[in-house]
Chain A
Amino acid sequence: MSTDNTAHGAHTAHVAHHFKTAEQQYSSGKEGIWLFMLTEILMFGAIFVGYALYHNEYPAMFAEGAKSLDWKMGFVNTLVLIFSSFTMAISISFIQKNQQKKAVLALATTVLCGAIFMVIKYFEYQHKFHLGLFPGKFLDVAKVGAEHANLGLYFGFYYVMTGLHGIHVLLGMGLITWCLIRTIRGDFHSQYWIVVEGVGLFWHIVDLIWIFLFPLLYLVG
């Protein structure tokens, strides 16, 4: 029927039919991902605002809460994530150079780092539960021996912020695994890598949020 439809065959396989060129598709995809990341940042931004407000209101209570966090574990996790950001980034450059094997290795390392992060997180949570450091109304101030009656508020923030971040780490791991499988299948190559780049960007943002969370929760106080 339409002239454009007959031109369908002229399209390369990975360019969707409503785009004219691969460049147009690439730049659209890229803008879409950045916009989505903006919403993630705004979402976390609001909870950071809440944190800042209450930190301001109850500095002593927040200090007491921060004391019970193990900054060493947090620090190790920070390193793990920074390294994983690096492996994620090189995986894309491998794909761009058509070195799929190396890319797969890099992606697998990234997922592994995510897993290490979550395991460490698990031990941290486990330890806190053990001590009875629960969020909000579940924190028994008398039993824990807390000085501040509303210490639960601090742990409310702690669990919500790290929990939400943790969910993002899990999501990211899933997405990277998906990229990994598709890389093995040969979907990505020097002509087409926007999907990996997008997932990579997501992963960097997740790291970045942690880099703000770590000092706020573990060090400031």
Chain B
Amino acid sequence: MAKTTAHGDNYINFEKGIWSWLTTVDHKRIGLMYFITVMFFFLVGGIMALLLRLELFAPNAAPNVGQILANGDVYNQVMTYHGAIMVFMVIVPGIPAILGNFFLPLQIGAKDVAFPRINLLSWYCFMAGAALAIATFFTTKIDTGWTFYTPYSIRTGTATAMMVLAAFIMGMSSILTGLNFIVTVHKLRAPGMTMHRMPLFIWSLYATAILQMLATPVLGITLLLLAVERFLGIGIFDPKLGGDPVLFQHFFWFYSHPAVYIMVIPAMGIISELITTFSKKVIFGYTAIAYSSLGIAAVSFFVWGHHMFVSGQSETTGIIFSFLTMLVGVPTAIKMFNWVATFYKGSVSFQSPMLYALGFMFLFAIGGVTGIMLATLPIDVHFHDTYFVVAHFHYVMVGGTLMALMGGYFYWFPKMFGKMYNETTARISFVFIFIGFNVTFFPQFVLGAMGMPRRYFDYIPAYENLNKISTVGSWLILIGFLFGLYTIVQGLLKGEKAPMNPWGSKTLEWQTASPPPHDNFSVEPVVTAGPYEYR
């Protein structure tokens, strides 16, 4: 390819100008473009979360801040956008599209992903879908919740069809990313990089990619059917025409349950990298961790019915799904135990990425255990659609995925930008997020157990104190993220020059310059040993 501009010595200054970014096929640049856009959506979704919590600060009867959002309709809308943005635009693309895009080729010693142009296309799909989703905000805002349950979503006079099409397009993006990753892993590994020498982050991305490919098409057709249902009233989900609204739930969760693992398996991959690096020790049970990712992916397809325990499905079905759901705990526990075992006799250093890893383990453990509780049929009948569920999925998604994402950012920051960040502010950020998180969401378990339903904009005075605590917690999280943002910006502007391998890691991406050159490696790496040869 003929390039007219002078080539710099790394991927950032390789070519100049905004146009060179918008047309780039370099996986590292595409990763950064995802980084910027996803973080923007995270900000939007985050502001909405703060609004929701502000509304719930006090019961509406109290003459004060408890009435931020004019009424229940507005609350429902803000909640829907918060949920939909966070799920489809932040957590699902988050790790694979940002850190995966950036580090998958680097970690396996490839020059790029298998289909660089499709990689760019998937960013544009993502942006187009996101733009459409945001555009609904300026028409009739949607209020269905991110799950778009029928028959309400058919009847509500809002922009459901548009939002659903947006999700469909973002689904395309997710499929393309997954496809790209699978082929890259199969075909572009450097000489000597066998499957069993791949870093665990790659294994997790690989398992995730399989999920993306198998689950997303089903969501696609489901959402398409929903859109057509809105326009033509085809009757598939409409009981009035002989259809079955619960079929929608079956289809929807057939994707969306595996989707929660699309969100969390890559996070587990990052945690594996962090734990072995900062323990200076080869990870315990490499193969078990690698294959447990595939195990989780496989099992996740057979558990969707746990979202429908109270939908009127038969008791036997409920019991079967209850049992199958608990099976997911097994591969998850395998990972947990292996991580803990890695600490044993390791020289553990508590750099901020490691703090995030520990935060992940703590919060994910709570999220996981409460997940098993919810998987228990009789308990779920009691807890279904209460704040217990809200607390559970925030522990998993925020406490799990987001913690890993933050840990991953700080871990790889020196490699991505060639600068060091300020360790102190990074740690402060962690402390605020971690404490704030627990203050926000732990009371919600109690609220749920007390019977406070989710998706309500008001509540009885008995729930007031715990809700107040929870709202204050959300401010602490805000402070934490502001510290995080400051750390990143400060590092970018003023950070010291980063060495090639500041943490003494063993994986391939650290064997090239920081930031990496356009072609990733100046000499093609040849791999002769496993990824974590510490001692």
List residues of chain A with CB under 8 Å of any chain B CB. Answer: 1-5, 16-19, 24, 27-28, 31-32, 35-36, 38-40, 42-47, 50, 53-54, 58, 61, 135-138, 149-150, 152-153, 155-157, 159-160, 164
Contacts and interface: CB of A to CB of B under 8 A. Distances in A.
B247 interface: yes
B218 A32 contact: no
B241 A31 contact: no
B228 A160 contact: yes
Nearest to A31: B183
Contacts of B448: none
A4 B519 contact: yes
Given A2-B517, A28-B188, A153 B235 contact: yes
A135 B244 CA distance: 16
Contacts of B504: none
A38 B1 CA distance: 32
Contacts of A27: 187
B251 interface: yes
B230 to A, nearest CB: 11
Contacts of B236: 50, 54, 153, 156-157, 160
Contacts, number: 139
A35 B182 contact: yes
6 residue pairs, one from A and one from B, having the closest CB atoms: A156-B234, A137-B233, A150-B242, A18-B111, A136-B233, A43-B217
Nearest to B191: A20
A153 B9 CA distance: 62
A136 B114 contact: no
A61 to B, nearest CB: 8
B179 interface: yes
B449 interface: no
Max chain A C-beta neighbours (<10 A), residue from B175, B186, B236, B242: B242
B220 to A, nearest CB: 6
B115 interface: yes
A36 B214 CA distance: 10
A160 B182 contact: no
A21 to B, nearest CB: 11
A55 to B, nearest CB: 12
15 contacts: A24-B188, A31-B182, A32-B118, A32-B180, A42-B218, A46-B222, A58-B242, A136-B232, A136-B233, A137-B235, A152-B234, A153-B243, A155-B234, A157-B236, A159-B234
